Amino acid sequence: MPLPESHVVRDPDPGFAGATIVARRDEGLGSVGLATCPEADADAEAACHLLLATVAGGLDAHREALDRFRSRPDDPLRRDLLRALEDAGQRALGEIRALGRRRGRTLEVEVDVLVSGADGLLVLHAGSGQVLLFRAEVLHRLARLPSVARSSGVPRKRSDPGSGVAHDGSVETFWVEARAGDRFVLLPPPVARALEDVDVRSLLAVLDPVEATHGLLALAREKGVRGALGGVVLHVPGPAARKEDSTRRLLPMLERMPLLAWCTQEERADLAARARPERVPGGTQLFEEGERGEDVYLLVSGLVRVLKGDAEVARLGSGSSFGEMALLEGARRTATVETVEASEMLILPRTAFLSLFEEQPRIVAKVLWNLLVQVADNLSRATEILAEASDRPEAPEVASRPGFSG
C-alpha cells in the first residue's frame, strides 16, 4: 500500500517562541514522521531533525525488506520490520542522549512515525504525543505508552539535567490495518493533553482531514496551549465502509460484555478509544498458556477457541472478552486462545487501561469490580466441581473455567 494522502499542518505562535515542531515525509520510504520539543532553539531544532533522520536511516537499511513486505506481506516479515523500526527508534533516542550530554542539557524530544506496508501502517511511538485513528465514527488512540493525564496536574517525570532525553526513553512499535476512509492523526504532546476525545471526534466527523486538524490546533489554542503547534493527518482514499463495518456495531457490542456491564455508554466509548482495532485471520494464535499477559481482548465479531494443553475447553463468539487477568501485573495466561475464523477485535493494552487511574478512576473501579466478580464466580464453580469430584471414586482432572480472565 502506498503512503496514504498525508498533510502537515502547522500553527506558529509568533508571540511565544516556546516549541519546535519538525515533520518529515519520505516518499521513497513511504514514511511520515513528527518530532516535537517544547523548547525553541538551535539545539531543539537539531535534535528533532537528528531524530527523524536517524529513524529514516534505520528504515533505509531495510528498504528491500519493506518493498518485499508491500508486495508479498507475511507475519514473520512484519515482525522483523517492527523490530527493525524499534531498533531505529532506540538508536535515534541514543543520538539525542549523546547530543544532550555534549550540550549539558536535557532535550525533551518526542516522535511518532508512520510507515506504509501492505494493507496497513507500521507505527513508531516515543513520548506522550498521540497517534489517533478515526474509523466509522469511532476514535481510537493507538499509542500504548501511558501519556500524561490531561487534568491531574501530576508533573512529568524528567531525567537528570544533561542526560539527553526527558521522557523515559521507551519506544513502542505496532502494526495497524488501514481501510478506505480511515483518518490517522499525529498530535504533539501539548495538543494531545489539551483535547478531549469528544473534541477530536466532533471535528473529524464533519470536516475534511486538513480542516479538522486545523480545527484541533485552533481548539488547543482556545484551551490555552502556547507555542508553535503542528500535526500530521493521513487519509486513506475511498469511501468509508459503514453498514458493513462491524466497528459501527462496537458500542452496542460492548454493552453485552460482562467486564463492562456497569459502565455507561460514555465510559465504554472511552475504553474503546484506548483500544486498537485489529482484524485477525482464522487459525491465528492470540496468546499461549503460561506466557505473561499484557493485553485484554474484546471480540467484536468472529469466533475463537480456548485450549488447556491440547484440549479445547470453550469457544467464544461476538460480544466476548478474554485475557482480563492481564490487567493485573505479572498475571500469566491460564489458557491458549486462537481464532477459529476471521475475527475483528479491540485489543486493550494494560498500560492504556492504567492511564485511566488518573483520568477516569470511576471506569477503573467498575472494570476491576466486574473482574473481581468474574474471578469469584470462577472460583465458586471450581469449588463446586471439586466438591462433586471428591464424592466420586476416581476424581477427574479439573480444568479452570476459561472466561475468562485468561
- Per run of 10 residues, the mean pLDDT along the chain (length 406 residues) is 81 80 91 92 94 95 93 87 94 93 90 91 92 85 56 34 51 89 91 86 85 91 89 82 49 76 79 82 90 87 90 88 80 90 87 74 81 73 68 47 48
Q: Which residue has the cell 495466561?
A: 333
Note the pLDDT of residue 304: 93
Which pLDDT belongs to residue 150? 33
pLDDT of residue 246: 43
Region for 362 from its dihedrals, namely left if φ exceeds 0, alpha if ψ lies in -120 to 50, beta otherwise: alpha
pLDDT in tens, 229-283: 899 989 888 765 544 444 455 667 777 777 887 788 778 877 887 888 888 889 9
As a whole number of angstroms, the distance between CA 190 and CA 85 comes to 25
Nearest of 165, 132, 159 to residue 48 by alpha carbon: 165
Joined grid coordinates for residue 199: 473534541
Neighbour-count burial of 241, counting CB atoms closer than 10 A to its CB (0-12 exposed, 13-18 middle, 19+ buried): middle
Domain ranges, ordered by start, for the chain = 5-241, 247-390
Q: Where are the alpha helices (DSSP H) in 186-243?
A: 189-194, 197-206, 209-222
**Residue from 294, 247, 293 nearest 273 by CA:** 247
CATH architecture classification, 247-390 = Sandwich (2.60)
Residues 6+ apart with CB under 8 A from 80: 65
Question: Please, is 72 exposed, middle or buried when counting C-beta atoms within 10 Å of its C-beta (0-12, 13-18, 19+)?
Answer: exposed
Local structure of 383: helix, strand or coil: helix
**C-alpha closest to that of 354 among 144, 132, 192, 178:** 144
Query: Kind and range of the H or E element at 25?
Result: strand 20-26
CA distance 63 to 201: 35
- Tell me the residue type at 111: V
- For residue 317, the SS3 value is strand
For residue 157, what pLDDT is reported? 37
For 149-275, strand residue ranges (E) read 172-177, 183-187, 229-235
Q: Report the alpha-carbon distance of residue 257 to residue 249 in Å, rounded.
A: 13
The H or E element spanning position 252 is: helix 250-255
Cα radius of gyration (the chain): 22
- Taken in order 64, 59, 293, 301, the sign of the CA dihedral is negative
CA-wise closest residue to 290 among 324, 347, 335, 338: 335
Cell numbers given for 223: 484551551
Picking from 95, 101, 114, 116, the residue whose alpha carbon sits closest to that of residue 49 is 95
Each residue of 89-115: pLDDT tens digit?
999 999 999 999 999 998 889 999 999
3-state secondary structure of 138: strand
* DSSP state letter for 208: -
Position 387 scores a pLDDT of: 72
The highest-level CATH class for domain 5-241 is alpha beta
Q: Which pLDDT value is given to residue 386?
A: 67
Q: Could you write out the DSSP letters of every residue in 348-369?
A: EEHHHHHTHHHH-HHHHHHHHH
